[in-house]
Chains A and B, each alone.
Chain A
Amino acid sequence: MELTLFIIVGAIAVLSAAMMLISENAVYSALFLILNFACIAFFFLMLNAPFLAMVQITVYAGAIMVLFLFVIMLLGAERIMTGDFRYPWLTPAAVILALVFLVAASAAIIDGDIDFIEEHKPDPYVRAVHAVIDAGELDFYLDDTLIASGLAYEDSSDFELWTEAVDSRHTVRLFEAGADPASAEPLGEEIVEINAGEALSFVAVASGTGDMDPKLIVATEDVTFNEESGTARVVAVNALAKWSSVAIVDKENNTTLIEDLPYGQASAGVLLKKGKHSISVYPDGNDQNQLAVLKNTEFDDNTSVLWVLIEERQEGNTFESRILNIETSGSPSFGSPTHVGRLLFTHYVLPFEMVALLLLVAMIGAIVLTHESLAPREPMTRRLANPPAGLDQPIIGKPEK
């Protein structure tokens, strides 16, 4: 289907370009070029670049080509072809050169195996989550880098890009806030493997019921664009030491989201339709004993949700289970206006400003060039005439007495 579309539109593009070349009337040429641009906009859509497609239609096919047409009509230049025609050998020479170019390029493209070049994966994201009651504020170190400092209970740090070595093992360590990582004893320690394209949450949870020593669980989340829109992506972490494993159920749809999640593990990601849901947690195989519930909670699409199941100390030193719901919005989908806009205003602010300046200069330049006072020039005279007479004579000689 896609290939068919590509072949049809590609044929139209090539055909319109050819027509543009051979049309005698400049207006026709311009119209064919617009058609060609429209085809290219279509290709942009196919290439996951809706924003570019939009710009292509409005700016290129719209504004710029209208400007062309306007100038053509202004000058009445549809058919102006006066003047001499020199160098007839130019046409065959150009065609031959172009064909050689095309052949060379095609050979290179076909032979170059572009498709098999390994896809580039983005740098991984990491963040820290604090889910240990009574543990005070915590510092998280990944190797020797501080990734979260002074994190309070129920808080999570933002996802940060991890630009150090990837696809290798690293140590996550947990300290009391303000402790010196070089000398202090870590509260918890875990060796993790960090791979490109991942988003890892280091969740600090209590080691067991009543045991407040923190321990680390690593959850792999997905914060890139979702495959299906209108869904949130959920990952659950089980820190309920009392139960060997738990199940998580969406009560309204009566669907089991996650089954058999053992203690101290993070689940794989599951998709949750956007909208309100009530979520319950049961011990595995016992759907009468509801451990904790998340009532009528709104879930947005394109978010990444982390549920941490913890026990919370109540009055009288009893414990009650609870779901900690941590939501993170995902990255915008690739090629969307949001995505392009975010890049534009973060990494490409300076080029953007410079291009804006360039446009201003171009505007002024256009005004200056077409200004009336410049228009009716005197006929061109020879600027570089023969050198002034006498300069060819040698200057050295005896000074006059």
Chain B
Amino acid sequence: MENYFDLVPLVVLIPLVGMLTNLFFGKRFGEQGVAIVAVGASAAAFLIAVILWIAQVNTGYVPAVIDMPVLGDWINITSAGLRIPWEFRVDSLSVTMMLVVSGVGTLIHIYAVGYMHGDSRFPRFFVYMNMFLVFMLLLVTGNNFLMMFVGWEGVGLCSYLLIGFWFDKPGGVGWKNSDAARKAFIVNRVGDFGLILGVLLTFWTFRTLDYYKPGEMPAAAHHEEAAYEETLFAPDLPEDEHHETATGPIGVFNQASAWLEEGDHEVNFGVISLSLEATITLITLLFLLGATGKSAQIPLFVWLPDAMAGPTPVSAFIHAATMVTAGVYMMVRSNVLYHSSDLSSFVVAMIGATTAIVAGFIAVGQWDIKRVLAYSTVSQLGFMVAAVGVGAYAAAMFHLVTHACFKALLFLASGSVIHGMEHGHHHLHEHGHGDHGHDDDDFDPQDMRFMGGLKDKMPVTYWTYIFGTLALAGVFPFAGFWSKDEILLDSIKHGVNDGYLSGYLAFVLLLIAAVFTAFYMWRQVSMVFYGQPRHAAAEHASESSNLMTRPLIVLAILSLLIGLINIPSGFPILGWLLGKHEFTSFLGHSVTFAHAGSFNFLLATMAVILALGAIYAARALYNDKTLATLERDPLELDERTAEAFALANAKLYWDEFYFKYIIWPYRNVAYWLAEKLDWEIWHDFAHERLIRDPFNRATQFLAEPVDKGFIDRNFDRLGTLVRRVSDRMRVIQTGYVRTYALSVLFGALLVVILILLPVLRELLGL
């Protein structure tokens, strides 16, 4: 069974082959061929992920490190002790990510075949999608931070390419799209800067970048914080044994554990030296900066809502299900480091929770169907990050998995809605029903104000949307209920049992965020599906093709059931039926500080009731009457909430804040540097006045009197002389061959006579 682990490079290579095939032959294949190659590559990667998962289960969850064939080491500088091999890691964490990425990816690929049908750059889209798969899978399977970083940058690139995919749309939309792409790329750069600093610091501290060396086991967690939980999950080896057996080189995490246990370890930075704890805090904070970029947390979340400019499958795949969770994956991977740093954990929890509530609040005030979902994604990512902050690594991963399913579903369903709206709009144009009160130039297929009443027009989309909404809102028994509940419970336990302030704060903030979640989601459902069509396009909207709805149905079923993989202990019946916290046990083999969540009936009930209450409130507010003419939001009309709504609608003036306090000052400084320093001082003064003018004068002198007056004139004279002489001698050149031949003979004769001179002299008696 262990041989199957050798398949792991294929997980990356198969999408790579698919990408290259479509890159070079895509134009010749036509849409169908491209789709088969791209979806096939994705599905094959999923198949291999499943095989790896089965292999993991059957080998007793032993982590495996597999070398990339052929390539050998990536970097190997022996003198610096720097060796970065192309090693893949197969453990429960990476397998989980592989399953999510390739599984959801495959469904979205299928959906995209329908969604992108007829696009002029159909092959290129799938080249990018497969390329994204390559890098995302490289990110999650690499066995060292640098491989992860390669994937990290690669997915950033793909994200940029795909957000700006429609850069050529007419009417300024293309500009907006490419602006959004650039924004995403540049904002991510800030985060990536932090990440690479963190990686370098890690190398400096631990002299390696490998998570674990081949054959090394993750250390088991220590028991002191096991107070509130009955089980902790250690690897199969007895824990006290493998501490001693760990000989030879060890990876970052075990090295950190070992040194932390020793205590008093100093990290030398030349001028100063820091304690190991401080260094780890620094590393984890730098990592957090990376995560806030990639996973769209405060303060770097601003790119994600704009990223919705990309095609909807991209939003679903990259900007909801997979890429944005890279930050969470990275932090869970580094759980040993985060666990040891209270300060970092606190910051992480606060950032996560704040993001969750801020994004949830903004989502309430949005009109764009995808923007609402985008803020929802930011908010849910905040949940995951907060979970990491409160030490609930398994819960974070659990929420990552469930969220990947239902958020992908929601995005795809929203794509289906948009598709339907566009279809209706086209229909409208073809049949000339132009007099429906709305100016067509204002029509935006993503604006919820133009929708309404789509429940009957698009039944499959509607029902799957409901599933996704309920899952996101955390209603029992949908997937979101289990994962969100676990995060909430872990937060409050972190506060109550371990006495961390961050636990209480996170719990309160997340609970409110959960209420917001339910509210804005049902607001969206009401606006889109209930009431009467508010635009002729909505009236003529129709259900999308099977290619698009089938993945929706699969994802809807997953959204309903995926939560059952991790039933908390203490839950009646189901836990006994399906096994307790299976997922957490699974993760526990690679995540040292994973601990299982229990079930608190009171908390769960409260959460569900709050969610249902929010849903009810939303439905009450957005009833058929208010939905009939939705020029303005009911919240906007109500004096008490108008101000808050305006704030949410303006996204808390976050972008404006950045513009005013970061971008404009930066631009002013740049202008000043360019205009004053570079242009006026450096160019005008230093270059022109100090260098150019004296040089000009010197060259003028050299040119006029020296060159022209002396050298040139003498050479002119020489030239004239040559011309005069040659004028005389030109006569010789007659152009007639025979005269030339005669001169040759003459010359030869001269030579002969010269040679024979002694003989001739003798003959002539001279």
> Given contacts A108-B756, A111-B763, A394-B708, could you give 19 more A-B pairs where the C-beta distance is less than 8 Å?
A86-B736, A87-B736, A90-B738, A90-B742, A93-B742, A97-B742, A97-B745, A97-B746, A100-B749, A101-B748, A101-B749, A104-B752, A104-B753, A104-B756, A107-B756, A107-B763, A111-B762, A112-B759, A396-B708
| Bound Cα distance from A86 to B735, whole angstroms | 11
A311 → B minimal CB distance (Å): 64
B372 → A minimal CB distance (Å): 59
| Bound Cα distance from A97 to B738, whole angstroms | 14
Interface status of B642 (Cβ within 8 A of chain A):
no
Interface status of A105 (Cβ within 8 A of chain B):
yes
The residue from A93, A101, A394, A396 contacting B752, defined by CB atoms under 8 A apart: A101
- From known contacts A94-B745, A97-B746, A396-B708, infer whether A87 and B738 are also in contact, taking CB-CB under 8 Å: yes
The 7 closest A-B pairs by CB, nearest first: A108-B756, A111-B759, A396-B703, A101-B749, A108-B759, A107-B763, A97-B745
Q: Which residues of B contact A87 (CB under 8 A)?
A: 734, 736, 738-739
Name the residue on A nearest B755 (C-beta).
A108
Q: Mark A286-304, 1 if CB is under 8 A from B, else 0.
A: 0000000000000000000
Q: Mark B732-766, 1 if CB is under 8 A from A, else 0.
A: 00101011001001101100110010011011000
- From known contacts A97-B745, A111-B762, A394-B708, infer whether A90 and B739 are also in contact, taking CB-CB under 8 Å: yes
A401 → B minimal CB distance (Å): 12
A111 → B minimal CB distance (Å): 5
- The 30 sampled A-B contact pairs (Cβ below 8 Å) are A86-B736, A87-B734, A87-B736, A87-B738, A87-B739, A90-B738, A90-B742, A93-B742, A94-B742, A94-B745, A97-B742, A97-B745, A97-B746, A97-B749, A98-B745, A100-B749, A101-B748, A104-B752, A104-B753, A104-B760, A105-B752, A107-B759, A107-B760, A108-B756, A108-B759, A108-B760, A111-B759, A111-B762, A111-B763, A112-B759
Q: Mark A155-190, 1 if CB is under 8 A from B, else 0.
A: 000000000000000000000000000000000000
| Bound Cα distance from A108 to B707, whole angstroms | 58
Residues in A lying within 8 Å of B, measured CB to CB: 86-87, 90, 93-94, 97-98, 100-101, 104-105, 107-108, 111-112, 394, 396
| Bound Cα distance from A112 to B763, whole angstroms | 11
Q: Which residues of B contact A86 (CB under 8 A)?
A: 734, 736
Q: Which residues of A contact B739 (CB under 8 A)?
A: 87, 90
| Bound Cα distance from A107 to B756, whole angstroms | 9
Name the residue on A nearest B735 (C-beta).
A86
| Bound Cα distance from A105 to B755, whole angstroms | 11
| Bound Cα distance from A243 to B599, whole angstroms | 137
| Bound Cα distance from A86 to B752, whole angstroms | 29
A76 → B minimal CB distance (Å): 22
Q: Which residues of B contact A108 (CB under 8 A)?
A: 756, 759-760
- Which residues of chain B from 699 to 713 have a CB within 8 Å of any chain A CB? 703, 707-708
Q: Which residues of A contact B707 (CB under 8 A)?
A: 396
Name the residue on A nearest B756 (C-beta).
A108
| Bound Cα distance from A136 to B197, whole angstroms | 89
| Bound Cα distance from A205 to B760, whole angstroms | 61
B743 → A minimal CB distance (Å): 10
A33 → B minimal CB distance (Å): 19
SS class, residues of chain A in contact with chain B: helix
Q: Which residues of A contact B760 (CB under 8 A)?
A: 104, 107-108
A84 → B minimal CB distance (Å): 10
Name the residue on A nearest B748 (C-beta).
A101
Q: Which residues of A contact B746 (CB under 8 A)?
A: 97
| Bound Cα distance from A108 to B749, whole angstroms | 13
A104 touches B742 (CB 8 A): no
| Bound Cα distance from A396 to B762, whole angstroms | 65
Q: Which residues of B contact A105 (CB under 8 A)?
A: 752
| Bound Cα distance from A111 to B755, whole angstroms | 14
B742 → A minimal CB distance (Å): 6
B78 → A minimal CB distance (Å): 54
Q: Which residues of B contact A101 (CB under 8 A)?
A: 745, 748-749, 752
Q: Which residues of A contact B752 (CB under 8 A)?
A: 101, 104-105
| Bound Cα distance from A108 to B758, whole angstroms | 10
B710 → A minimal CB distance (Å): 14
Q: Which residues of B contact A97 (CB under 8 A)?
A: 742, 745-746, 749
Q: Which residues of B contact A94 (CB under 8 A)?
A: 742, 745
| Bound Cα distance from A94 to B739, whole angstroms | 10
A395 → B minimal CB distance (Å): 10
Name the residue on A nearest B702 (C-beta).
A396
| Bound Cα distance from A93 to B708, whole angstroms | 49
A372 → B minimal CB distance (Å): 27
A104 touches B708 (CB 8 A): no
Q: Which residues of B contact A111 (CB under 8 A)?
A: 759, 762-763
| Bound Cα distance from A394 to B736, whole angstroms | 38
A92 → B minimal CB distance (Å): 11
| Bound Cα distance from A371 to B372, whole angstroms | 79
Q: Which residues of A contact B736 (CB under 8 A)?
A: 86-87
A392 → B minimal CB distance (Å): 12
| Bound Cα distance from A111 to B759, whole angstroms | 7
| Bound Cα distance from A90 to B736, whole angstroms | 11
From A86, A98, A101, A104, residue with most partner B Cβ within 10 Å: A104
A101 → B minimal CB distance (Å): 5
Q: Which residues of A contact B753 (CB under 8 A)?
A: 104
Q: Which residues of A contact B745 (CB under 8 A)?
A: 94, 97-98, 101
B516 → A minimal CB distance (Å): 65
A197 → B minimal CB distance (Å): 31
Q: Which residues of A contact B749 (CB under 8 A)?
A: 97, 100-101, 104
| Bound Cα distance from A105 to B751, whole angstroms | 12
Name the residue on A nearest B763 (C-beta).
A107
Q: Which residues of B contact A112 (CB under 8 A)?
A: 759
Q: Which residues of B contact A90 (CB under 8 A)?
A: 738-739, 742
Q: Which residues of B contact A107 (CB under 8 A)?
A: 756, 759-760, 763
| Bound Cα distance from A93 to B760, whole angstroms | 22
Name the residue on A nearest B704 (C-beta).
A396
| Bound Cα distance from A94 to B736, whole angstroms | 15
Name the residue on B nearest A93 (C-beta).
B742
| Bound Cα distance from A396 to B760, whole angstroms | 62
From A98, A100, A105, A108, residue with most partner B Cβ within 10 Å: A108
| Bound Cα distance from A108 to B748, whole angstroms | 15
Q: Which residues of B contact A93 (CB under 8 A)?
A: 742
| Bound Cα distance from A28 to B352, whole angstroms | 113
Q: Mark B225-241, 1 if CB is under 8 A from A, else 0.
A: 00000000000000000
| Bound Cα distance from A97 to B734, whole angstroms | 20
B746 → A minimal CB distance (Å): 6
Name the residue on A nearest B762 (C-beta).
A111
B318 → A minimal CB distance (Å): 53
| Bound Cα distance from A101 to B746, whole angstroms | 9
Q: Which residues of A contact B763 (CB under 8 A)?
A: 107, 111
Name the residue on A nearest B764 (C-beta).
A107
Q: Which residues of B contact A396 (CB under 8 A)?
A: 703, 707-708
Q: Which residues of A contact B756 (CB under 8 A)?
A: 104, 107-108
Q: Which residues of A contact B703 (CB under 8 A)?
A: 396
| Bound Cα distance from A111 to B763, whole angstroms | 8
Q: Which residues of A contact B759 (CB under 8 A)?
A: 107-108, 111-112
- Which residues of chain B from 7 to 25 have a CB within 8 Å of any chain A CB? none
B711 → A minimal CB distance (Å): 12
Q: Which residues of A contact B762 (CB under 8 A)?
A: 111
From B708, B746, B762, residue with most partner A Cβ within 10 Å: B746
A143 → B minimal CB distance (Å): 42
| Bound Cα distance from A153 to B759, whole angstroms | 60
B343 → A minimal CB distance (Å): 63
| Bound Cα distance from A320 to B742, whole angstroms | 81
A244 → B minimal CB distance (Å): 60
| Bound Cα distance from A94 to B738, whole angstroms | 10
Name the residue on B nearest A394 (C-beta).
B708
| Bound Cα distance from A86 to B760, whole angstroms | 35
Q: Mark B297-329, 1 if CB is under 8 A from A, else 0.
A: 000000000000000000000000000000000
B714 → A minimal CB distance (Å): 16
